[in-house]
Amino acid sequence: MASILDEFNELDDDDEIAFAELVHRYQGDLDDYLNHADQNTDTTQAHITFMNRVIGAAEAFNIEPFAAWAVPPRGRIFDEFDEFALSVERYLTSLKIRKSRRRKVYSVALAPADKKRIHFLVGQIREALENIDIEERKKNSLFKKLNAFAADVDKARTRFDNAYLMGIDVANLAKKLGEAVKPVTELVNSINELMGSAKEKEPEQQQLPAPEEQKKLEAPRKQIEGPKINRDLDDEIPF
């Protein structure tokens, strides 16, 4: 039996990105409903539901100023909806730009020759791990991280996080098994050197930035309190 939490299990670990993913999902629900509604359909509840969901997600992830935004009464929904939707769109545009720039910092564009060399080293790591006597569960975990990293290598920019996770596991294994893991450690070090050399050649703006400060949007000018939306309305959601 599916859990009511299943729809949230695959959200990104970054709260802001997870919020953006939910907004995109809720916007799709609203657009789908409006596209199938005729010109005489009262869409008030659909717009209330969208605002209510977005505000609920903002409260969960502490996204200002939407976490403090009040859903207006039914008779005033269209007076405030456009301002709310534009504010959400402005926030998401800013978010995408900020996250895109930071992801360039924590990733590297590898030359085709470097990618080929890394895939060769990854293959050697797989062979070495097969010959190391470790429990099956741990070996499968290492292979999973290795496969995730190998998939990243084929992308336009290779992220550092999966390489880092793989390196941590190998380092921990080396601490326990010593010389038996030395060949794997040396292969991982070779991969790190290749990626580090490629990163060093990138433009300065793609190097490590100052700590990110989350930019706050100006608080909404309208704060129409009105009655709180009853969570039981979920049963009346038109989509």
Q: Say whether pTM exceeds 0.85.
A: no
**pLDDT score recorded for residue 171:** 82
**pLDDT score recorded for residue 46:** 95
Domain range annotation of the chain: 12-105, 108-200
Q: What is the DSSP letter of 158?
A: E
Does pLDDT of 225 surpass 80?
no
Does pLDDT of 210 surpass 90?
no
The amino acid at residue 33 is Y
Helix-strand-coil percent breakdown of the chain, rounded to 5? 70, 0, 30
Phi-psi group of 142: left, alpha or beta (phi > 0 → left; psi -120 to 50 → alpha; rest → beta): alpha
Q: How far apart are CA 106 and CA 208, in angstroms?
A: 8
Q: Are 66 and 54 a contacting pair, CB within 8 Å?
A: yes
CB atoms within 10 A of CB 98: 14
